[in-house]
Structure 1
Amino acid sequence: MERSFPLFRLPENVIVHVLQNMDFDQLLTISLVSTKSKRLVTSLGLRACDVFIEISRVISLNVEIGGSRFVLYFYNDSNVQNDITLPVDAFLRFECKRIQSSTPFNFSDWMNHIRTIFFCIKSPSVNFYRGCERFEVQSLKDAIGNVNYLSVSSKATDVYNKEVLKRFNAPNELSLERNPFDEACEIQKLFIQSFEFIGIDNVHSLDDMLLVNSEKVNFYRPTTQKQFNRFVKHWIRGSNPRLQHMSLSIDITDSVDREVLLKGIECVGVPEEEQLKICQNNDVVCDHLVQIKREDGTSAVIAVNRIEVFLNVHFIVLY
């Protein structure tokens, strides 16, 4: 049997010293005891640098503080109702340890409490996975608020995914595993938004590429060398003014002709030392790199490397 320790009978400066040597999950547990304990934990000034929320059959809340993190699970008990406005306990990942508040907390209460004691200033990243349809989208939005990064699962229904995109409508970064829309104009509404990053795993046309108004974009489905060539020519003439980095692939099960890829495009080679610097700065691997210029004088490079039956292409604008 563990002996109890009368922590809160100690002077406050001593209590704070003890708290400073505790793990984050212990601090969370203690902060739930009383108003005083919450105030003392908050006084430590710990700041969460990132918060990740994964929504599937359960809700996983990852809080990163410095180089460490703790993970809480909610609704992993099959007997718990799907309504996230009702009180729910948290479970510490790996330890299967239940964490309860002195007054009943629903998921929104847990979010607000953690935001307060760990100074969560940055909006969280939210990933939707298989089983997320268990939870009502508007309730999730009300509890989570604004998000920084949103990833929408291909395993959920199109109806649910459209609701997610409607409610969580202002992320800085968006990753869409499948286009849930029937009409091309609907997905194109996402292309024209001013994201920092957008990733699309869907067949895309030249018009889609030219509508992209994000700084960085990943097209996960292969395009053709002719479509990429036409895109570059449009960029040279002034399209996609916000674009900084576009990543895509070209299916080379048949063949890729460098002359077709760069046909009609004036380009020059890049010195090896400069190639290495560009690749390191943009976290890319390439076998070949050429530089082009648009009509306003802005430079860009086209970096390519072959992996199995695909040619990975990085279009990087140099500012």
Structure 2
Amino acid sequence: MEAGDRHPFPLLRLSDDPLQLVVLLMRRFDQFALSLVSKRSKEVVKSIGLSSRITIKVDEEEVSIRIHKRITENIRCSFADDQVAINNLPSEMVKPTVTSTRGRHTFTRSRKGYRFEDWLSHCLEVFHQSKVTTVFFERLIPHFKSFRKTFESFTILKIVREYTDEEARDLLKLFIPVKKLYLDCNPFTNKDENNKLLQEVFIQNFNHLDLNWRSSLAIDNLLIMNSKVITISSEKLSEHVLNRFIKHWMAGSNPRLEYLELSSDDDRIINEEAVLKGVNYQKMPSTHRRYLENPPFINNPDYAYIDGGYDVRRADGTTASVLFNEYVYFVLVVLN
């Protein structure tokens, strides 16, 4: 036998215990590939307790199921548009391309009885997830209403392009409710700040509403938002709007709000006196640090505590602190 010769190893002839030990030493991509071979191999891979977030992304080129190891994407299962509507093709015609991180390894295959929803269910089961984490839309696909039926609950909806008002309404109606809604732009053709369709979105009970668009935001829209956490990056927000919001909050508006963060591309320095004009507040010294228990904005560890701030109180005794800094235009944190 010459050096470098390779012979196949009868992996699946091993009994369960040694097979499990071998699988533990495999790369994540190979573990996933093995889970597709047979029912037994799937159960062995499941038995080693892998855990990965599962997301769905609809981008300009494909629809994909994405498997994430820690914070990075590790495996991508890519489907053509006509393969993701429910019960539209025989399973042998559903052949996703499975690719590892950075495209180093890839294979394409079908699996008897597996349509898109079955591939997704397989991923969730193998990686011990009860539901999809995020559904990400860069475009609408044909038969997207049928596509919605291929999975049940998920946590985060991200929309990053504009649609016609009818498309946006249908999309949001189908995919809401969710815990977090991320809009990278105003998805509606009608950009009027008083667009009723947009207002229907704002009044939803999200845990987190994240808006990132280059247009102004009216005070009336801020006041109808019913989310616990609101983060907004907009073209500009005036001191007058912020002043009115604080006063409305003190009078009882936005009762679910726990954290509001507003940022802007405007490089000018905010006039804190104008924001706080006519507001009854207590200024806390910058050396006064307060730690927050179970902060709703845990993804931003810088705000697990606050230094200083301007404390304001509403009629029911609820206290919030208003903060300004060079990175974030305006922050309001509810303290109790």
Q: TM-score, normalised by structure 2?
A: 0.81
In structure 1, distance between residues paired with 2:278 and 2:36? 66
Closer, same or farther: CA 186–283 of 1 in aligned 2, 3 Å: same
In structure 1, distance between residues paired with 2:16 and 2:265? 65
Following superposition, the deviation at residue 91 of structure 1 comes to 2.2
Closer, same or farther: CA 126–240 of 1 in aligned 2, 3 Å: same
SS at match of 2:329: strand
Q: 1:259 aligns with which of 268, 273, 283?
A: 273
State whether residues 123 and 148 of structure 1, in contact with CA within 8 Å, keep that contact through their aligned partners in structure 2.
yes
State whether residues 204 and 227 of structure 2, in contact with CA within 8 Å, keep that contact through their aligned partners in structure 1.
yes
The aligned runs of 1:1-319 (5 Å cut-off) are 2-48=6-52, 50-56=53-59, 57-65=61-69, 70-75=74-79, 80=80, 82-85=82-85, 86=89, 87-93=94-100, 94-103=103-112, 105-129=114-138, 132-176=139-183, 177-180=185-188, 182=190, 184-200=195-211, 201=213, 202-221=215-234, 222-249=236-263, 256-275=270-289, 277=291, 283=301, 289-306=309-326, 312-319=329-336
SS at match of 2:244: helix
Following superposition, the deviation at residue 29 of structure 1 comes to 1.1
1:187 maps to a residue whose letter is L
Question: Percent same amino acid at aligned positions?
Answer: 25
Following superposition, the deviation at residue 99 of structure 1 comes to 4.1
Closer, same or farther: CA 42–250 of 1 in aligned 2, 3 Å: closer
State whether residues 131 and 153 of structure 2, in contact with CA within 8 Å, keep that contact through their aligned partners in structure 1.
no
State whether residues 34 and 102 of structure 1, in contact with CA within 8 Å, keep that contact through their aligned partners in structure 2.
no
1:209 maps to a residue whose letter is L
In structure 2, distance between residues paired with 1:8 and 1:248? 56
In structure 1, distance between residues paired with 2:127 and 2:82? 27
Q: TM-score, normalised by structure 1?
A: 0.85
| Deviation digits for residues 58-114 of structure 1 (CA, Å, limit 9, x no counterpart) | 223322345775221413xxxx55342431223214125114244263321210111
Q: CA RMSD in A?
A: 2.9
State whether residues 202 and 221 of structure 2, in contact with CA within 8 Å, keep that contact through their aligned partners in structure 1.
yes
Count residues in correspondence: 309
Closer, same or farther: CA 13–198 of 1 in aligned 2, 3 Å: same
SS at match of 2:98: strand
